[in-house]
Chain A
Amino acid sequence: MTSLVALFDSPMMCSRDIDVPDYNAAMAGMTLSIERLPSESIGVFMLTLTNCVIGSAINVETQSGAVIENRTAVASTYVFAIPAYVSGNPANSLRIKVRKGSAAPFYQPWETQAVATVGAQSIFVAQIPD
């Protein structure tokens, strides 16, 4: 839920959701701001994995184990659009796993972590032969 707040002498809460097309903080002498719930994303984190071994299983999950993406690599570079939340939200803490143990050549499980922010990050996947 997104709320509109108009600041006069004291805050006034609106009881319904509204759209805010263009934010103008100086409108008619009142201040407008947007508050979002913690569960709502504030943007997109563009995660790029490079140098993946084709055939590897890729899993992107939160630290709590919620799966965000899971797929088998058919190319060496993958781009994931991952929701980003306000700073401090645990959903921003990501664990990225890349494994290839089903068919030769085998690679040791590779794992790293990332923090989702509105923007982009590229991660080099350095898989080691097993």
Chain B
Amino acid sequence: MPIATDFSVDSSGNLRQVAAFVPGTSARYTTLELHAWLQDLADNPAASGDDLVSILGANPSELAGKRDASRPMALTLLPTLNINDATSQWFKFGSVEQGGGNDLYTGLKIIGSLVPSSPVYITQSNAKLTKYWADADVNTSFQILVKAKAAGALIDGGNVVVFSRKYGQTYSHFDASLAAGGEQSAALSTALDTNVDSGVMTPAVAAGYFATAIGGTGGSSPKIAIAYGDTSQDLGGGQGSKLHKGTITLDGTVTLAQAYQALMWACSESSSITFNSVPGWRYRVLPGQAYPENIAAPFGTFAGGRWCVAQGWWLTGVQASDSKNYQLVSHDGTTETPPTSIAIQVSGVVSGDYVLVARDNGSGGFVQDTTVASTATAGATSVTLTAAPADSPTGPGSQACYIRINGNRHTYTARTGNTVSGLSPAVPAGGYAAGVGVFIPFIDAVSAGSSIQSANFQFGSNFTCRYRVRNGGGSPIVPFESTLSVTSNGGSGTAVRNADA
């Protein structure tokens, strides 16, 4: 259709559409095409038809710069010529300013790699704009004009947020400033989300996971409850107690995969859920916080069967089978992992071999892990340490726990933080003064068989152990000494027994 048939200009300068723009059917004109049409009219000797523009009137339009069909054109309508919001839907690839700069429609273009026909919605002043574009526009070229300024004031500071959040795909959004006019780009990226089975976890099912009070259909005892407020919790992975700003509580019947899907739906374009009064369709981070965003999945990504929960959330009610399938990020940005229990084993020994395993100091000896914090009197069965390593046994389990205080060997039955209790033997005569050296061997005992194992303990980070195997009695060997690496899978070493005959 020639542009002249789609618009009219009345004697007051009102440039209006003849018929409403139909997304997916009507073709948009560039702002350059609008300018060219107006200039074509402007040199006519007299107005004709319904386009009342001619050389008898003022110049109707001007461009910032020369005509260039390869660049977005910033067009100014002069002096009273104007378009309205409905008519602006017909234009793209540039901007239209009018009313002496009081009104501005700025071009918006979406770039990036998207799943075909990824639906796009735009928010301005925290409200969705009524769509005047088609989903399929992203398949070719998504270019529209968006009103950025009205009556001399930028709308929401000239900012918009462009979203694509289709349940079943990864999400994307982009903050764009339209204040400068011209054409602004919004970079989006979406992909199919293989962790979402929208055939099973349908939107209706997902809605049933949330309380009715926040827009779900799960009544007052939802499968996923959301709470806001400070909570300091220790996940047990060695990171200690950390501050979180909100809590996601699963009711124990929900797998992490299901929780992830339900929360993805809750953040989708069609979501009815609100998070602390923030609609799910524009939820980005825990309300009130300025955390880095998880753009593809606002509550955290799910990959390899593991949910990396977004920052600030504390997660509770996780099923035992999922106990290691997630990680959290505390308010201060610390990544928190569930506890990983490991042990150290030394093999290649025989019954009667004495085995000592402790942290290697890198120079042929053992690390002094800590010191006694306060005087322990003779006969006491507990001591307080200055800083017990978090990755040392807290309880014996099927194996014993060992501690060397001032060189004296003890076993213990519990370690809670820096307090070691159940010492056996008890603190000897003379007691232990504050500051006495302490190290906590993982194994410090006589083997009863071909191998010996430590008590389980919480893995924190990789480290190296030194181990010694000696036997000067019934089956004498040349003292053996070596090191072994301890990782999240534990540690193991093998002794080489050379007879000391």
Contacts and interface: CB of A to CB of B under 8 A. Distances in A.
Contacts, number: 46
A57 B55 contact: yes
B55 A70 contact: yes
Contact of B56 (A67, A102, A106, A109): A67
Contacts of B42: 99, 101, 109
A130 B55 contact: no
Given A97-B55, A130-B67, A59 B40 contact: no
Contacts of B39: 99, 101-102, 106, 109, 130
B59 A109 contact: yes
Interface string B416-446: 0000000000000000000000000000000
A65 B67 contact: no
A65 B56 contact: yes
Contact of B45 (A56, A57, A101, A129): A57
B131 interface: no
B329 to A, nearest CB: 56
B62 interface: yes
B62 A59 contact: no
A67 B56 CA distance: 8
A59 B36 contact: no
Contact of B43 (A61, A67, A100, A129): A100
Quick one: which of B38, B44, B59 has the most chain A CB within 10 A? Answer: B59
Interface in B190-229: none
B155 interface: no
Interface string A70-100: 1000000000000000000000000001011
Most chain B CB within a 10 A radius of its CB, from A56, A57, A101, A102: A101
Nearest to A65: B56
Contact of B67 (A59, A67, A106, A109): A106
Taking residues whose C-beta sits less than 8 angstroms from the other chain, chain B's interface range is 10 to 19
A108 B55 CA distance: 13
Nearest to A105: B67
A85 B39 CA distance: 34
Interface residues of A, number: 18
Interface string A97-118: 1011110001011010000000
Given A57-B55, A101-B39, A108 B45 contact: no
Q: Which of B36, B40, B55, B63 has the most CB of A within 10 A?
A: B55
A61 B55 CA distance: 10
B63 A61 contact: no
A56 B66 contact: no
A56 B63 contact: no
Contacts of B38: 101
A128 B213 CA distance: 65
Given A56-B43, A99-B39, A101-B36, A129 B66 contact: yes
Contacts of A59: 45, 55-56
Contacts of B66: 129-130
A59 B40 CA distance: 15
Interface in B66-115: 66-67
Contacts of A61: 56
Contacts of A67: 56
A111 B58 CA distance: 10
Instruction: Output the residue of A111, A129, A130 with the most chain B CB within 10 A.
Output: A130
B56 A108 contact: no
B56 A101 contact: no
Nearest to A61: B56
B59 A57 contact: no
B55 A102 contact: no
A101 B40 contact: yes
Interface in A36-90: 56-57, 59, 61, 65, 67, 70
A101 B43 contact: yes
B456 to A, nearest CB: 80
Contacts of B40: 101-102
Nearest to A129: B66
B98 to A, nearest CB: 17
Contacts of B44: 57, 102
Contacts of B41: 101
A111 B43 contact: no
Contact of B59 (A65, A106, A111): A111
B300 to A, nearest CB: 53
A21 B461 CA distance: 119
A115 B430 CA distance: 118
Interface in B16-64: 36, 38-45, 55-56, 59, 62-63
A57 B66 CA distance: 20
Contacts of A97: 55
Given A59-B56, A61-B56, A130-B66, 18 more contacts: A57-B43, A57-B44, A57-B55, A59-B45, A70-B55, A97-B55, A99-B43, A99-B55, A100-B43, A101-B38, A101-B39, A101-B40, A102-B44, A109-B39, A109-B43, A109-B62, A129-B66, A130-B63
30 contacts: A56-B43, A57-B43, A57-B45, A59-B55, A59-B56, A61-B56, A65-B56, A67-B56, A70-B45, A99-B39, A99-B42, A99-B55, A100-B43, A101-B36, A101-B39, A101-B42, A102-B39, A102-B43, A102-B44, A106-B36, A106-B39, A106-B67, A108-B62, A109-B39, A109-B42, A109-B59, A109-B62, A129-B66, A130-B63, A130-B67
Closest 8 CB pairs of A and B: A101-B39, A99-B43, A57-B43, A109-B59, A59-B55, A102-B40, A101-B43, A70-B45
Interface of B: 36, 38-45, 55-56, 59, 62-63, 66-67
